């Protein structure tokens, strides 16, 4: 999980820094200064990307620089290599909680406005949907497998996934996807089309699924149900065989 990966990286960084006692660049025979400088930049890039991927870009960069210098000089700072990761873990949890509250307020505002649009309905789970084509009477259940075409986007309109763009349909068991999808695809029959607005509680919640799908994302999907493959229970073995 990302939070533990972040803590592990920070712990390693702390140990590396703690092992140094000077800010003076030590020369190594056969290694030119330009190579050392490039390696230093690479370390900086890796550290900065770790901060970005952990959604901690609001950190005080000047404090980070000051602390690195202090640790390299051997000065005493308020954390050590054991306590720093523990504080980071608590900080990330607080950040996630605060971000969740902000995103929930934004989502509530959007959904309240969206459900007033013509044709938009809302289920008890807060899933919002608009059935554009109902399809036939063959509807999937949780145990079935479906073949679909779909496009997924964020509230800002950015598309993060699309079977249309790949030029091929997708098959998956209904009970193998996020709750919002499970509920939404069961609303239509074969040949049907539905537009879904999925609250993050019915999607990936606080999980960061990559740069195109950040944590606490409310998702929009255009779904076309191509085919329903009904669940076929395995035949029970006959007695004595």
CB-based contact 168:222 (threshold 8 Å): no
Question: Where does a domain end: 94, 109, 144?
Answer: 94
Residue 100 within a domain: no
For residue 152, the tally of other CB atoms under 10 A from its CB is 22
Which of these, 56, 53, 50, lies nearest to 91 by C-alpha position? 56
Residue 105 within a domain: no
User: β-pairing, 145-154 with 128-133?
Assistant: unpaired
1 by Cβ neighbours in 10 Å (0-12 / 13-18 / 19+) ranks as exposed
Residue 107 within a domain: no
- Give the three-class secondary structure for 69: helix
Q: In this structure, are 72 and 167 located in the same domain?
A: no
Q: In this structure, are 88 and 127 located in the same domain?
A: no
172 is catalytic: no
pLDDT number for residue 29? 80
pLDDT, average across residues 194-220:
93
Which is the catalytic residue, given 47, 110, 131, 161? Answer: 161
pLDDT in tens, 103-145: 999 999 999 999 999 999 999 999 999 999 999 999 999 999 9
Residue 127 within a domain: yes
Q: In this structure, are 121 and 225 located in the same domain?
A: yes
pLDDT, average across residues 219-234:
94
Which is the catalytic residue, given 160, 200, 222, 231? Answer: 160
Q: In this structure, are 43 and 121 located in the same domain?
A: no
pLDDT number for residue 19? 46
Give this prediction's pTM.
0.72
pLDDT, average across residues 28-46:
85
Instruction: Name the average pLDDT for the chain.
Output: 86
- Give the three-class secondary structure for 14: helix
Which of 59-63, 171-175, 231-235 is predicted least confidently?
231-235
Which of these, 198, 191, 196, 197, lies nearest to 133 by C-alpha position? 191
Instruction: Provide the CA 164 distance to its chain's centre, in angstroms.
Output: 22
Residue 23 within a domain: yes
Which is the catalytic residue, given 92, 129, 150, 188? Answer: 150
Q: In this structure, are 220 and 125 located in the same domain?
A: yes
Q: In this structure, are 121 and 89 located in the same domain?
A: no
pLDDT in tens, 88-105: 888 888 888 898 999 999
31 is catalytic: no
CB-based contact 130:121 (threshold 8 Å): yes
Q: In this structure, are 22 and 71 located in the same domain?
A: yes
pLDDT number for residue 92? 82
Q: In this structure, are 175 and 217 located in the same domain?
A: yes
> In the structure, what pLDDT confidence band is assigned to residue 25 with cuts at 50, 70 and 90?
low
pLDDT in tens, 173-205: 999 999 999 999 999 999 999 999 999 999 999
pLDDT number for residue 96? 83
> In the structure, what pLDDT confidence band is assigned to residue 74 with cuts at 50, 70 and 90?
confident
Which is the catalytic residue, given 3, 68, 131, 178? Answer: 178
Q: What total of structural domains would you count in the chain? A: 2
160 is catalytic: yes
Residue 11: pLDDT over 70: no
Which is the catalytic residue, given 7, 88, 144, 204? Answer: 204
Residue 33 within a domain: yes
The Cα–Cα gap between 118 and 241 comes to 59
Q: In this structure, are 89 and 143 located in the same domain?
A: no
Which has more pLDDT, 166 or 32? 166
Domain holding 138, by residue range, is 117-229
CATH number at residue 181: 3.10.50.40
Percent of the chain past pLDDT 70, that is, above it, reads 85
pLDDT number for residue 51? 77
Residue 1: pLDDT over 50: no
The Cα–Cα gap between 136 and 150 comes to 18
Residue 43: pLDDT over 70: yes
The Cα–Cα gap between 119 and 130 comes to 6
129 is catalytic: no
Q: In this structure, are 218 and 156 located in the same domain?
A: yes
Q: In this structure, are 125 and 224 located in the same domain?
A: yes
Q: In this structure, are 55 and 152 located in the same domain?
A: no
Residue 235 within a domain: no
Question: Where does a domain end: 59, 94, 129?
Answer: 94
């Amino acid at each position: 999980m990302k939070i533990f990966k972040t803590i592990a990286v920070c712990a390693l960084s702390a140990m590396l820094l703690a092992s140094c006692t000077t800010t003076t660049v030590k020369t190594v025979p056969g290694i030119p200064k330009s190579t050392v400088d490039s390696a230093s930049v690479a370390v900086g890039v890796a550290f900065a990307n770790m901060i970005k991927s952990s959604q901690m870009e609001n950190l005080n960069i000047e404090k980070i620089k000051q602390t690195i210098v202090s640790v390299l000089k051997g000065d005493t700072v308020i954390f050590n290599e054991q306590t720093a990761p523990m504080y980071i873990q608590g900080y990330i949890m607080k950040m996630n909680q605060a971000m969740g509250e902000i995103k929930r307020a934004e989502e509530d505002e959007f959904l309240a406005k969206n459900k007033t649009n013509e044709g938009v309905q809302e289920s008890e789970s807060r899933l919002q949907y608009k059935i554009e084509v109902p399809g036939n009477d063959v509807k999937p259940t949780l145990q079935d497998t479906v073949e679909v075409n779909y496009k997924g986007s964020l509230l800002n309109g950015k598309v993060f996934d699309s079977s249309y763009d790949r030029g091929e349909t997708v098959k998956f068991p209904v009970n193998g996807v996020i709750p919002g999808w499970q509920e939404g695809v069961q609303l239509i029959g074969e040949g049907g089309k539905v537009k879904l607005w999925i609250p993050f509680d019915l999607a990936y919640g606080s999980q960061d699924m990559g740069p195109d799908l950040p944590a606490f994302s409310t998702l929009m999907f255009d779904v076309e149900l191509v085919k329903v493959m009904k669940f076929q229970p395995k035949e029970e073995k006959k007695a004595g065989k």
